[in-house]
Amino acid sequence: MKKGLLAVLTLASCSAGTPSVDPSDLLVCGADEVFILDLRAGAPKKVWSWRAADRPELPESFRKLFGSTDDCKPVDEGRKILISSSGGAVALVERSTGKVLFHAAVPNAHSAEILPGNRVVAASSTKEEGNRLILFDLDKSDQPLASDELHGAHGAVWDAERNLLWALGETELRAYRVEQDRFVRKLSRTLPNPGGHDLRPVPGSPALMITTGQHVWIFDRELLAFRTHPRIGDLAHVKSVDLDVESGALAYVQGEKSWWAERIKFLGLDRTVEIPGAKLYKARWTNR
């Protein structure tokens, strides 16, 4: 059921407590390991793990590039995991086996997104040869098809309803058509403050959640307007935010030690997950 933005804001404002529906497992990344946590037990239990160093099908020159994973997204109804690393690469991984199905070199990669037509787009952030979006064919590893300049590219979301790719940069949010292996810019909106970092949709609604250097925002794709998140809008250095619409649980990671954290925080769940010594960066619900 499609939710209006008011309903989304109400859901996102939920008070801490026990949700009526258990949230899904949580996909986490931040260093050389990407893993899934089962939160249903008293203590979080690691139920899946992936490291590039363990994958013989991945070219050796690529394995070291995944030492600083910075995004992890469940795709294909959770059967695959899309991983990006600021070390300079992206990969599509089969969850059941851990096998790498696609890989590509992407300077300072900070996110990626699957597109129709067996395509994937990667956000290449600030670095020489970076500051752009790069398009690939999933059947042809490490062979770019097209690119478009976007300073500080950090996020990408495919919008099937509007047939648009939303992309987040340092100071702007853009929407693209992707036509015949080329990016066609359709609109741009300046962010309320700089430091565009995470970009996530709220399924079944016009809302995109956006984090910047100093705030967390909700962007209405129908009104093309920003408003601060009702509960965590004034938090700085939020690296990721993700809402499980079934349970109402919102997971977020706020930078605590340089760029990383040892805790995952929640709205709608009466708990905090702490992993001492970890370098946590992003957390995603696996039912997305």
Per-residue 3-state assignment (H helix, E strand, C coil) for 108-138: CEEEEEEECCCEEEEEECCCCCCCEEEEEEC
Q: Using CB atoms within 10 Å of the CB of residue 79, give its burial: 0 to 12 exposed, 13 to 18 middle, 19+ buried.
A: exposed
d(CA 109, CA 88): 6
Give the per-residue pLDDT at 122: 98
The answer to whether 213 and 167 are in contact (CB under 8 A) is no
Give the per-residue pLDDT at 13: 45
pTM value > 0.75: yes
d(CA 219, CA 211): 11
Residue 250: helix, strand or coil by DSSP? strand
- The fold adopted by the segment(s) 5-285 is Methylamine Dehydrogenase; Chain H (2.130.10)
CA dihedral 140, 142, 147, 153 (to 10 degrees): 130
Q: Which of 185, 183, 219, 212 is nearest to 196 (CA)?
A: 212
d(CA 7, CA 21): 18
Q: Give residue 239's identity as a one-letter amino acid code.
A: K
Q: Which of 92, 97, 54 is nearest to 76 (CA)?
A: 92
Chain centre distance of CA 128: 23
Per-residue pLDDT of 245-265, as tens digits, reads 888 999 999 999 888 999 999
Segments of the chain with pLDDT less than 70? 1-20, 288
Per-residue pLDDT of 46-83, as tens digits, reads 999 999 999 999 999 999 999 999 999 999 999 999 99
d(CA 128, CA 242): 30
Domain ranges of the chain: 5-285
d(CA 233, CA 278): 26
Give the per-residue pLDDT at 18: 54
